[in-house]
Amino acid sequence: MNLIALGTLGSAFVTVATMFYQAAAPATSTIPGVKELIDNQRITICEVALTKGQKWPMERYAEDTLMVPLAPVSLRITGVDGKATTLNLTPGEARFWPKGTHQAAEPVSDARVIVAHFKEFTGPTYKNTSGFGPAFPRPRVKKLLENDRIVVWDYTWVQGEPTPNHFHDKDLMIVYLADGAIKSVTPDGKATPNEFKFAEVRFNPGNRAHYEEYVRGNGPRAIITELK
């Protein structure tokens, strides 16, 4: 399995992760701080515990990579020209590095992050025959970034304000930033509860029509990545 489990952090974790996953890694990594959460034909997702002062060599990323922080994170990034910059991110932000990025990284602080690696796979196209609009954009949502591979959104469900009926025309990666619960209601009126915890990550295939409604939580929030 080809997993650059920590490539998102710069070239930081690439070497160790590559060595491990070429050796047929189990679902949970034995490398300290790296836990594989999801792996399918489109994406590999890991949770990574960063330790201040870890130093990782200069590497070139094998895949497009996204980092979503679960806590404030600070990274010292060094490019091939030797110039160093400090990257600071907080929950509710995200950082994308395209395939071929060549750099090294060193955590300046302890932190937990979600790292996603996007594989060279053309996803399915879902035709919208629902009569509803697309899932995004929607009221109160914030777009964090967009490129030819993904669109990343920051969204918080609000009590008494269900989403519009919508159609998911793309597969999704969801990183929950708070405990909570919502329900999904399909056009035929069927309601399905959805409980989640802080730091929980899911991959949801597209081709679904519904609306979402707040059930419980203190501002249930998620970073939602649509895969193109």
Running along the chain, 228 residues long, what does each successive block of 10 average in pLDDT? 38 34 36 87 95 86 96 95 96 96 93 96 91 97 97 97 97 97 97 97 98 94 97
Output the pLDDT for position 31: 57
The model's pTM is: 0.86
Q: How far apart are CA 79 and CA 100, in angstroms?
A: 12
The order of strands in the sheet holding 84-89 is: 59-60, 102-107, 73-79, 84-89
Output the pLDDT for position 186: 98
Q: How far apart are CA 136 and CA 225, in angstroms?
A: 11
The domains found in the chain, sorted by start residue, are 7-118 (2.60.120.10), 133-227 (2.60.120.10)
